Amino acid sequence: MGKVHDLALTLAMEADEAAPAMATADGSRKNAALLDLANRLEKSARRVILANRKDATAAKKAGFSPALLDRLSLDAKRVSAMAEGARQIAALPDPVGRMLGGGLRPNGLRLSRISVPLGVILMIYESRPNVTVDAACLSLKSGNACILRGGREALASNQELGRLIALSLKAADLPERAAQVVGVADRELVSALLALDKLIDLVVPRGGKGLVKTVLEHSRIPVLKHLDGICHTYIDASADPALAERVVLNAKTSRPSTCNATETLLVHRDIAAAFLPGCLAALAEAGVEIRADPEAGKIAEKAGVRTVAATEEDWKTEYNDLIISVRVAPDIGSAIRHINTYGSRHTDAIVTASLAAAERFKLEVDSSSVMVNASTRLADGYEYGLGAEIGISTDKLHARGPVGLDGLTTYKWLAEGDGQIRE
């Protein structure tokens, strides 16, 4: 434990030392590092792929699943995509130095609230090595120093990528240690890092729920996190059935593994008999398993669509799969209650032609994204125009919903006067 603890402390202290130079670097220097990295990645693609092959070979021997192997593996196309990502982040506006508020006070004090970097960010992620580059670029652009702790299975890839990142920082006259790839795949090291709340300002776990929960349990540092994505689409009595069906199909089937995919379809009783047969048939056609409450089940049965009986557990489940639970709601109030009770306050949508229903839904649904006549799948940093996405936060404090580069900044109050004192 002593040795691991020392290593964690060294990593954090070096990042903390690099942080001021990053925080005060102007945008052009940060962008120079990002563009240098993009070019360097393309020029060094072969070395990156060679290092990755070591990881892939070891993973294959260790019996990794084909899906995991795919996530781990890099080819020329994937390396190019990383370079392209770095260029895109360089092209974004600088999140540091934005004027967020202030003004002239009655005593003549000139007050301004401006965005500044958080300081040191710890990124913890799993097998995909491209996260190393992505996380380093986000941290760099937002003027932070970062510690990058990827999966044990991607160690060789991440170290090679870390080497390139350090070279690009150096080329732009920024501290090399501003982005440190952790070279030791030790779980105790993560615990040791998570205790260093005096040196590290934010932890961003990127990966499955298991990872997030582990980080949450052990961290003394604030965590920018995504937990559950139990999203609903509610079809109001006044909805246009064709529009509703298109939205539901997209919300469930366009990428069911994502957190913003709809898991539960709620349908107003007055439209259920007219809407459900066509919509459920289309879902079934798309390969979706339908878990229905008794009322929806009867309608489906009449229409010849096969369903399974939904249990209480279904309303609380994030399937991340081609499964949908369906419930008939006697009115909009009960639909909203269902969402606020069983949902995860992530993203919920109403399909309606009624202004009153839309207004009520927007007001009463307590979720980070509330959609009207749109697919829940649109809750996303890119779709919202945030540029790079740090993730989707399921917390209410600091950042809520899709988080852009701003999520890696805080602010500072500047008060400038000519001798003002407190009366």
Give the footprint of its own copies on this chain (CB under 8 A): 20, 23-24, 103, 105, 107, 109, 111, 116, 118-119, 201-202, 222, 240, 243, 246-247, 250-251, 254-255, 340, 358, 362-364, 366-375, 377-380, 383-385, 395-398, 400-402, 410-422
Structure tokens at 313: 């557990």
Q: What is the CA radius of gyration of the chain?
A: 24
What single letter denotes the amino acid at residue 312?
Answer: E
Q: Which is nearer to its own copies, 157 or 375 (CB)?
A: 375
Instruction: Give the CA dihedral 207, 343, 224, 389, nearest 10 degrees.
Output: 70
Say if CB 300 and CB 280 are below 8 A apart.
Answer: yes
Cβ distance to its own copies smaller for residue 46 or 220: 220
Q: Are 167 and 40 in contact (CB under 8 A)?
A: yes
> Which is nearer to its own copies, 217 or 313 (by Cβ)?
217
Give min distance, CB of 364 to its own copies, in A. Answer: 6
Using CA atoms, how far apart are residues 209 and 184, in angstroms rounded to an integer?
A: 23
Q: Does an H or E element contain 169, and which?
A: helix 155-171
CA distance 39 to 402: 29
Q: Which residues pair with 232 in a beta bridge?
A: 264, 348
The residue among 168, 184, 154, 150 whose CA lies nearest residue 74 is 154
Cβ at position 213, least distance to its own copies in Å:
13
Closest distance to its own copies from the beta carbon of 179 (Å) = 19
Write out the two tokens for 325. Answer: 């639970």
Q: Which helix (H) or strand (E) holds 21?
A: helix 2-24
We find the least distance from the C-beta atom of residue 118 to its own copies, in angstroms, to be 6
| Distance in Å, CB of 47 to its own copies, minimum | 36
Contact by Cβ (8 Å): 69, 56: yes
Whole-angstrom Cα distance, residue 292 to residue 275?
Answer: 14
- Label residue 347 left, alpha or beta by phi (over 0 means left) and psi (-120 to 50 means alpha): beta
Q: In the complex with its own copies, which residue's Cβ is closer, 56 or 203?
A: 203
Residue 43: CB minimum distance to its own copies, A = 33
Asked if 137 and 174 touch (Cβ cutoff 8 Å), the reply is no
The total number of residues shown for the chain amounts to: 423
Beta carbon nearer to its own copies, 54 or 255 = 255
> Is the Cβ of residue 313 or residue 423 nearer to its own copies in the bound state?
423
CB of 224 to its own copies, least distance (A): 8
Minimum distance, C-beta of residue 64 to its own copies, in the bound complex (Å):
30
Which C-beta is closer to its own copies: that of 325 or that of 394?
Answer: 394
Task: Rank residues 287 and 385 by Cβ distance to its own copies and give the closer one.
Answer: 385
